Structure 1
Amino acid sequence: MDAEGRILAASKFLLQAPPGEINDVLNDVRNIVSDDDVLQSGVLPALREYNLAQFITADVPGHQHQCIVSEAARLKPTEEVEGEEEEGDRFWDPRSRTSFRFDHLSLEASDPQSIEPEGESEPFRAALETATVAYLAAHFQSGVASVFSVAGNADQFIIQVVANKYNPANFWSGRWRSEYTVDLAERTLSGKILLNVHYYEQGNVQLETNHTISLALPPTITAESAAPSAPKVLALIETEEGKYQESLGDTYQEMGEKTFKGLRRALPMTRSKLDWDKVLGYKLGAELSSNKGGFAGAS
């Protein structure tokens, strides 16, 4: 396989990396490429795509909180910086009104700059952010949320939430992502929940599932009443996410009681449980029985 083929293969592996294991996958594909310089430049587009899709979080320079690095957070390049390379992408954190440069390889934010939000949409966006942070604290043990106004549309807002749980000591990791678009003009709340779980103790099992949501906003939610309206939006999200989690619990229970049991017999053909501590004894007894006639003939 030539260098281009190895880079392509490495990029595909990276895009399929389970939550929290991107560095492990990157270290493994180094053996495929066998050239660190080529690897770093060749897989950078894949790393960028992975980071944006997975809602990778970054420490906001100069502040004590994290924000989400995503397509919604990316600042569109201006004419002055149009020629910058992809690793020069700038993102912004509306909560602190800070933009920063993000390195998709080291996952570090740098070069912070102040940025002013759009004045017309900021009151409702800020109210949504306050309600989202409160929702995050109530329902996610370790999560990060960002709320953005859509450039050029004062009636649209994007809410993003990500929560990661990594437990390599017990061979599992998981990531919850949810994204919602609030459209005050169309009176809709639409979004999706994406869940990734990886369990790899003496095996390799991954769960990837997604759930879409589309709701009509009640008439009481308006831009003019930002403070009381924002918690109502999060109440709708809370209800839908609660329903989805309950459905997942029901699915897991059904899998345990029906699906997995259907894959194998509960008991062997003898209808009695096998005593695994005596397996070697069973095998030895079977061999002696099969050789009994031979021993008798030899005597």
Structure 2
Amino acid sequence: MNPAGRIQAASKFLLQSPPGEINDVLNDVRNIISDDDSLQTGVLPALREYNLAQFITADVPGHQHQETSDAEHVEPDEESEAFRSALETASLSYLSAHYHDGVTSIFPSPGSSTSFIVQIVANKYNPSNFWSGRWRSEYVIDLDAKQIQGKIFLSVHYYEQGNVQLSTSHIISLALPPAITAPGGASSASKVLALIEAEEGKYQASLNDVYAEMGEKTFKGLRRALPMTRSKLDWDKVLGYKLGAELTSSKGVFGTS
């Protein structure tokens, strides 16, 4: 494979990185390619795409000390800012109740003062127990069309003595009650988040049902029964025994002292 082909393959690996493990994948492909300069240049588009698609959050330099440099003032849209701010307050309240260390961002849709985008991301990394997970959801709230269009993405990786990955998505389409309007402010924003909360709760409950069925039926049919010892095999010992037996059987080949 030529260098360009290796970079392309490395980019695909990076885009499929499990939650919280992109640095591990990057180090692995770095060892394969063995050319840091071409790797750094070649995979930047893939890293940018991954960060945007996965809602990766970033700490802004100076944020801990509330310091800014080269600041440029941006005026918020007067027509949309009041309801956007109300949505942000309601979203933060929802996150504190349901997502540990979750992050949300609310934006007005480009060119519209009555359409808003809500993004939510929550990560859970537990390498000591060999698993990681990420929840992402995005909603477009259109007050004129009286509807919510959204998507939920869930990624889970479990890798103790194996490698199991779950990647699933869910499309959401909800009608907004006529009472939800921009002038409704905080009350309308809370009702919007109540609809989102109910839909995400139903989706999580459906996933729990699927997991239970997989454990009782699908995985049970695939599960291999334990050996007669009723314990897992220690493959290092097995290989040691095999090597010892081979050396014993062939010691005559080397002669005796």
> Under a length normalisation based on structure 2, what TM-score does the superposition of the two structures give?
0.84
Aligned counterpart, 1:248: 207
Aligned counterpart, 2:73: 114
Distance in 1 of aligned mates of 2:90 and 2:64:
19
Deviations 1:93-142 (A, max 9, x none): xxx9xxx9xxxxxxxxx865432221111111000000000100010111
Aligned counterpart, 1:204: 163
Deviation, 1:247, is: 0.6
Aligned counterpart, 2:142: 183
Q: Which amino acid in structure 1 is aligned with residue 58 of structure 2?
A: A
Aligned counterpart, 1:276: 230
8 Å CA contact 1:174–1:197 kept in 2: the answer is yes
Aligned counterpart, 1:49: 49
Q: Secondary structure at the match of 2:139?
A: strand
Distance in 1 of aligned mates of 2:84 and 2:60:
19
Distance in 2 of aligned mates of 1:196 and 1:4:
29
More strand by share: 1
Deviation, 1:237, is: 0.4
Q: Which amino acid in structure 1 is aligned with residue 37 of structure 2?
A: D
Residues 1:19 and 2:19 are matched in the alignment: yes
Residues 1:32 and 2:45 are matched in the alignment: no
Distance in 2 of aligned mates of 1:262 and 1:111:
62
Aligned counterpart, 1:5: 5
How many percent of aligned residue pairs carry the same amino acid?
A: 70
Residues 1:58 and 2:58 are matched in the alignment: yes
Distance in 2 of aligned mates of 1:186 and 1:128:
17
Q: 1:39 to 1:111 in 2, by over 3 A?
A: farther
Q: 1:132 to 1:48 in 2, by over 3 A?
A: same
Distance in 2 of aligned mates of 1:113 and 1:64:
19
Which 5+ residue runs of structure 1 have no aligned equivalent?
66-95, 101-109, 280-299
Aligned counterpart, 2:101: 142
Deviation, 1:150, is: 1.1
Distance in 2 of aligned mates of 1:163 and 1:113:
30
8 Å CA contact 1:61–1:112 kept in 2: the answer is no
Matches within 5 A, 1:115-134: 115-134=74-93
Q: Which amino acid in structure 2 is aligned with residue 145 of structure 1?
A: T
Aligned counterpart, 2:152: 193
Deviation, 1:169, is: 1.1
Distance in 2 of aligned mates of 1:139 and 1:173:
18
Residues 1:174 and 2:133 are matched in the alignment: yes
Runs of 4+ in 1 over 4 A off after TM superposition: none
Q: 1:29 to 1:116 in 2, by over 3 A?
A: same
Deviation, 1:201, is: 1.0
> Under a length normalisation based on structure 1, what TM-score does the superposition of the two structures give?
0.73
Deviations 1:32-72 (A, max 9, x none): 2211111111000000000000000012444459xxxxxxx
Deviations 1:214-272 (A, max 9, x none): 0100011001111210000000000001101111111111111111122247x69xxxx
Deviation, 1:193, is: 0.7
Q: Secondary structure at the match of 2:75?
A: coil
Distance in 2 of aligned mates of 1:22 and 1:113:
32
Q: 1:61 to 1:131 in 2, by over 3 A?
A: farther
Aligned residues: 233
Aligned counterpart, 1:293: none
Q: What is the RMSD of the two structures over their aligned residues, measured on CA atoms?
A: 2.4
Deviations 1:191-213 (A, max 9, x none): 01100000111111100011111
Which 5+ residue runs of structure 2 have no aligned equivalent?
234-257
Q: Which amino acid in structure 1 is aligned with residue 174 of structure 2?
A: L
Q: Which amino acid in structure 2 is aligned with residue 182 of structure 1?
A: I
Distance in 1 of aligned mates of 2:135 and 2:43:
25
Q: Which has the higher contact order (CA 8 A, sep 6+)?
A: 2
Matches within 5 A, 1:225-264: 225-264=184-223
